[in-house]
Amino acid sequence: MKKEFVLNQSVCDFSRGIDIAQTILIYLVALFVPTFLGTILNQVFGVSSVVAMNSQLIIGSIVNTALFVTALNLKGTVKILGIVTMPSVSTILSGAVFHSASVYMFYMIPAIWLGNFSLIYFFKKMFVVNKKNYLFAGIVSSLIKVFVIFGIFQVLRMVSIFPDTLVSTLQTSMGMTQLITAFIGFVLSFAIYKLQGFVKKS
């Protein structure tokens, strides 16, 4: 099955108006949540607060929800590549999540893009195209994303791209945090999927 075919599938056919509206909404989430939410959390709760210190979990969960909803509802390579690339660039440029490590995260941008694309592609292929179980498709696609991102991080770490003082923090961010946020995004997207099914029936 060609990638173009997989990326042109969605769980249901939406009207042109709804398709445009949800595409714009997902793009806004992908752009503005990573860019501004971390800064807002820092200002509202304080940089040293529990909420602000866990901003990657909050932002990452929202972004992963957007990725799963993209896999469910959006069609087309260009649309999907926009969603794939936008969040990581916004997050790193804002500096609110990775702080002093942001400059080193530029090396991880291609890995994050590839991880995001993997999540969308494999979830779309398993659930939307091949009609596999939602839970199975969500878990597998999440694990593939984490494997891609963490694997590339380990390669870059071995060639001493990152300072020793940041390795431990980045290892958590590129590993366990990615896994947690992917699973949270999967759960939230399931709620959205069920809600849109309910709305369509009513």
Asked whether the beta carbons of 124 and 76 are under 8 A apart, the reply is no
Helix/strand/coil (H, E, C) string of 8-64?
CCCCCCCCHHHHHHHHHHHHHHHHHHHHHHHHHHHHHHCCCCHHHHCHHHHHHHHHH
Q: Cα separation of 69 and 149, whole Å?
A: 20
Over the stretch 161-173, which tens digit does the pLDDT of each residue have? 888 888 888 888 8
- 95: confidence class by pLDDT, cuts 50, 70, 90: low
Asked whether the beta carbons of 55 and 96 are under 8 A apart, the reply is yes
- Tell me the pTM: 0.89
Over the stretch 15-29, which tens digit does the pLDDT of each residue have? 899 999 999 999 999
* 91-95, 106-110, 137-141, 173-177: least confident range: 91-95
Q: Cα separation of 62 and 134, whole Å?
A: 19
